[in-house]
A and B are shown apart, each in its own frame.
Chain A
Amino acid sequence: MTAKKARGKKKKHSYIWLSVLSVVLFFFVWWLFTEGSLGTIKENVLPGPIKVFQTLIDKFSNKNPDGATMQVHLWASLKVTLTGYVIGCLVGIPLGILMGWYEKADMFVNPIFDFIRPIPGIAWTPLFILLFGIGMLPKVIVIALATFGPALVNAYTGIRQTKEVHIWVGQTFGASKGEILRKIAIPSSIPFILTGMRVGLGVAWSTIIGAEMLAATAGLGYLINLCRGIYRPDIIIASMICVGVIGAALGLVLTFLERQLMKGGRW
């Protein structure tokens, strides 16, 4: 038994080395073909990893070529995303709960949402730009719409999945319909609601990058698209790294919230 365990441990150890190797190999190959001795790829197509890293550091203090530092762009994107996201959740989750709980509301409202849901959030952007100009408002609405879908659907599913037995228990103990909703259905659907919030956040973050490419004067999407026009892939990749890191960080925050909120655990 112990021998087997030790062997398993040793095997796991070698797997970690394989992971390290793959990442090192990736950066080495990237470096080799750009900045290294086999450097055949031009810098305005794919800059090397060292160049990208330097650009990334430099962009936090350098305003060229777009007139703002990275943190200004970051904040511009985050501000719009979080505002739209909160609005989308505040509208979507209660509506999802209502639709899940009242069958009549479901019958009338659901068909319309089934029709609207397949429209990607980004497709709304031109409409709201035409209505409200290229300020912050149209983007906030687009983000709210993009978040709204997953938030609603998951809250709806969560309420629908309430165990009938739990409801019966509530009824036996004389709970009113409102009490059953408040104290049984909503708490038991919290895992679903949180899943919806996490999916919604991912969609919102992706949508804002796209929306900023279409119309913005600041923000990460704007920066990336601008640098395409002036052939600066180093800034594009550096900004993509920022987008990825922020997206992952936002996801972690929600996972943390989930752990705090769901003391009962998942079922």
Chain B
Amino acid sequence: MLERKAKMWQKIAAAAVSFALLILIWQLAAMNPQFSQVMPGPFAVLQKFFVSFVEPIGKNVMLQHMLITLSRWAAGFIAATILGIALGLTMGWYRGFEAFMRPLFELVRPIPTLAWIPLVILWCGIGELAKYVLVFIGAFMSIVQNAYHGAKSVDRTIVNAARMLGCNDRQMFFTIVIPASVPAISAGLQIGVASAWSSVVAAELVRSSSGVGWIVVTGQQNNNMTQILVGILVIAVIGLLLALLIRRVEDVLCRWNKRGR
């Protein structure tokens, strides 16, 4: 126990050292006027980051931009989670449904999410709906894929045991197939979070008037490197937090599975 704690502190210290080193090198480079002309120093970026919470970029302050982007992410991701799990599980368990849906799914799957952006904008306009749809597409594919494989690979012994004990089809699906696919589903959700996050950022980069992606792209249009770096910093922090959140959810949902190992 004590040893583990010491190891953890060691890790934290190492992380602090490497971040400090990175910032130091960056700052030293930024002191060179030729470098700082194209790239601001780390403290300038941090300062701009904090200032942007009170001083608006465009029409909104930073917190509003973050909330706008997060709401787009959440709307698309939640819809994709519900529909994706439902489709994936039914497709994985019912052979007839699989035979019908799988070809259609495979037809669409190879197209990367980002390639959908123009078509979705053409269909849904440049409003919020287009962003929801894009996030949905981004997350949906990986969630369906994983839920499908989860339902496909349910342990046959368990299925046969349940059947022998007189389990009907509905009970089989709800009490055997769904719980047994949870690890696979949560793996899908983790990939889904990342791809939904990348879709919302990309959608905002291509066409939008607010949000963190918009901050980055207007930074480019105004030749403002500080603003680009602030935007990227925010994207990194939120992306990291979302990934941690989902990992936490997985830990709670799959506790039984981890304990078994």
Residues of A in contact with B (beta carbons under 8 Å apart): 11, 15-16, 18-19, 21-23, 26, 45-46, 107-112, 114-116, 118-127, 129-131, 202, 205-207, 209-210, 213-214, 220-221, 224-225, 227-228, 231, 233, 236-237, 239-241, 243-245, 247-248, 251
Contact = CB atoms under 8 A, between A and B. Distances in A.
A228 B122 contact: yes
27 contacts: A18-B96, A21-B100, A23-B104, A107-B11, A108-B18, A112-B19, A118-B236, A118-B239, A118-B240, A120-B194, A120-B235, A123-B201, A123-B202, A126-B217, A127-B216, A127-B228, A206-B112, A209-B112, A213-B118, A213-B206, A214-B206, A224-B115, A224-B118, A233-B119, A237-B119, A240-B119, A247-B110
A131 B40 CA distance: 12
A125 B242 CA distance: 22
A119 B99 contact: no
Nearest to A119: B236
Interface in B61-120: 95-96, 98-104, 107, 110-119
From B15, B104, B112, name the one whose CB has the most chain A CB atoms within 10 angstroms. Answer: B112
A126 B18 contact: no
B205 A125 contact: yes
A131 B111 CA distance: 30
B197 interface: yes
Given A23-B104, A118-B240, 14 more contacts: A19-B102, A22-B101, A107-B10, A108-B14, A118-B235, A120-B194, A120-B197, A122-B114, A122-B201, A123-B198, A210-B114, A224-B117, A239-B115, A240-B111
Contacts of B232: 119, 123-124, 127
A111 B112 contact: no
Interface residues of B, number: 58
A120 B122 CA distance: 24
A18 B100 contact: yes
A123 B213 CA distance: 7
Contacts of B102: 19
Contacts of A224: 115, 117-119
B111 A210 contact: no
Interface in B1-36: 10-11, 14-15, 17-19, 22
Contact of B236 (A115, A205, A228, A245): A115
A228 B219 CA distance: 24
Do most interface residues of chain B lie in helix, strand or loop, or is the interface mixed? helix
Contacts, number: 169
Contact of B112 (A26, A107, A114, A247): A247
Given A18-B100, A123-B213, A45 B110 contact: no
A116 B18 CA distance: 13
B109 to A, nearest CB: 8
Interface of B: 10-11, 14-15, 17-19, 22, 38-39, 95-96, 98-104, 107, 110-119, 121-123, 194, 197-198, 201-202, 205-206, 213, 216-217, 219-220, 223, 225, 228-229, 231-232, 235-236, 238-240, 242-243
Contact of A209 (B14, B115, B217, B242): B115
B206 to A, nearest CB: 5
Contacts of B122: 45, 228, 231, 233, 236
B119 to A, nearest CB: 5
Contact of A130 (B17, B19, B121, B228): B228
B104 A22 contact: yes
Contacts of B217: 126, 214
Contacts of A233: 119, 122
Contact of A213 (B114, B201, B231, B242): B114
A7 to B, nearest CB: 14
B205 A16 contact: no
Nearest to A245: B110
A126 B216 contact: yes
Contacts of A11: 95
A213 B208 CA distance: 14
A227 B240 contact: no
Contacts of B205: 122-123, 125-126, 210, 214
A206 B115 contact: yes
Contacts of B15: 107-108, 110-111
Nearest to B13: A107
Given A108-B17, A123-B213, A206 B113 contact: yes
Contacts of A247: 110-112
Nearest to B109: A244
Nearest to B204: A123
Contacts of A220: 115
B114 A207 contact: yes
B111 A243 contact: yes
Given A119-B235, A120-B235, A126 B228 contact: yes
A209 B205 CA distance: 13
Contacts of B39: 131
